[in-house]
Structure 1
Amino acid sequence: MNAGSTMERVYLDLKARLLAGQYPPGTRLDPVQLAKSLRASATPVREALHRLAGERIIDSWHQEGFRPPILAEADLHDLYNWASHLLGLALRSEVPVPDPPAVLVNLASHADYAEALDSLFRAIAMGSANREIRFAIFSLVERSHVFRRAEVRVDPSARELLAAMAADYRFARWSALRAKITRFHRHRMAMAGRVVAELRPRDEPLR
């Protein structure tokens, strides 16, 4: 396997682990230790870490290495607010065509809440003619995946809210979908503190 394909494999494997929440927020990601579990040398691991830092999936601090981000309630509040605005822009710029992207939001094929929500938001992005909006939503979806998993654990209404948005998308009820996306993210912002607490490692002392 050449160096390029090794780096790509390491990048994809490490990204999947991060999005699945295998490393708690603030965990130091040591390239040498990661190389052992990823069956690679430290060099492609470092390259993958730099790439993931560029995508803002992890944080990179001078002389402190790489870590999954530690989000404060205000940080999560800002991300939810940004997501609401971006999705609203995607739906406002042009009326999207729900087919073929609609196949991506068939909730019956997504038992996992986070995967289903990601699929819906990606489908909305694909309906936008503005490539910058598409790229921004795709990036935000990936950065948000870890705390989406926490949302469903602290909010019993999470799946119901998702199902309502997906139904509007499938039936091309764009005005109703825009309104529901706004309400969804306002609800998320109101629960941001609980999501942050859920993400905190259980042995981390409260400050």
Structure 2
Amino acid sequence: MPVGGRMSPGVTFERIYRELKRQLRDGVLAPGAPVEPAVIGHELGASITPVRDALHRLTGEQLVETPQHNGFRVPRLTEMELRDLYAWNGLVIGVATSRAKVDMVRDIRPPEDAETIAGRTAAMFLRIAAATGSGENLRAVGQLNDRLAPFRRAEQQVLDGLAEELEEMTGLAAAIGRTRLNRALARYHQRRTTETPRILAATLNAHA
């Protein structure tokens, strides 16, 4: 709430944090690009302190990195790192499907870009995680969604049949058909680990 015509520090921090996270998820900031707190503060109308605080929080979420503790930058994943990230997503979702309870499946408020395949995929994975009743699983899936968001958009330039793939998994997730869902999820992640070089190239080319 504004105090003396100015926003309180907590409100300013949350505004900066959410906007930076949106830019990172949407791929506005190029992989490997430096993130200058002074520049961000000027663009978003804030002092450098809440910007640095937000960047430190995003570093903890692995959306930003501090190479050798010398400034901030957007992570630029290697092929191996992206494969590992897809594999980790598969493991976390696998745990969620094994623990999901039919009577706990409920709607999760979709992200702002839920009209896209990438957004609907993120919402589906959140729904599966929510069905476990585990806050830890839900947070883990949410963070993976954030880190994979730019790559999921790039997948649309590389992989065919994404809408059909998502429709199949969404239907199986709603029914909690574990065996068939696990097979569909295994195919989903295998496709992406196989096509990691092309997905990574498409992500980088978006900023060429």
- 2:193 is paired with a residue of what secondary structure? helix
Change (3 A) 1:173 1:67: same
Length-normalised TM-score, structure 2: 0.88
Structure 2: distance between partners of 1:117 and 1:36:
34
Aligned residues: 201
**Unaligned stretches of 5+ residues in structure 1:** none
Length-normalised TM-score, structure 1: 0.89
Query: 2:97 touches 2:176 (CA, 8 Å); kept in 1?
Result: no
In the TM superposition, residue 114 of structure 1 has moved relative to its aligned partner by 1.0
- 1:71 is paired with a residue of what secondary structure? coil
In the TM superposition, residue 64 of structure 1 has moved relative to its aligned partner by 3.0
The amino acid that maps onto 1:35 is G
Structure 1: distance between partners of 2:190 and 2:173:
19
Does residue 131 of structure 1 match 2:135?
yes
Change (3 A) 1:163 1:56: same
Tell me what 1:16 maps to: 22
Structure 1 residues 102-153: Cα deviation after superposition (integer angstroms, max 9, x where no partner): 7869xxx943011100000000110113333222212111111111111112
Query: 1:152 touches 1:159 (CA, 8 Å); kept in 2?
Result: no
Does residue 141 of structure 1 match 2:170?
no
Identity score, percent: 31
- 2:35 is paired with a residue of what secondary structure? coil
What RMSD, in angstroms, separates the aligned Cα atoms of the two structures? Answer: 2.1
Tell me what 2:126 maps to: 122
Tell me what 1:7 maps to: 13
- 2:66 is paired with a residue of what secondary structure? strand
Q: Which of 76, 89, 94 is the aligned partner of 1:83?
A: 89
Change (3 A) 1:31 1:58: same
Please list, as runs of the form range in 1=range in 2, the aligned pairs for 1:97-112 lying within 5 A after superposition: 97=103, 99-101=105-107, 110-112=114-116
Tell me what 1:183 maps to: 187
The amino acid that maps onto 2:142 is F
Does residue 192 of structure 1 match 2:196?
yes
In the TM superposition, residue 22 of structure 1 has moved relative to its aligned partner by 0.4
Change (3 A) 1:100 1:11: same
Name the structure, 1 or 2, with higher relative contact order (CA <8 Å, separation 6+): 1
Structure 1 residues 42-77: Cα deviation after superposition (integer angstroms, max 9, x where no partner): 111111111100111111123531111101111111
In the TM superposition, residue 98 of structure 1 has moved relative to its aligned partner by 6.2
Please list, as runs of the form range in 1=range in 2, the aligned pairs for 1:162-173 lying within 5 A after superposition: 162-173=166-177
Query: 1:19 touches 1:145 (CA, 8 Å); kept in 2?
Result: yes
In the TM superposition, residue 36 of structure 1 has moved relative to its aligned partner by 1.2
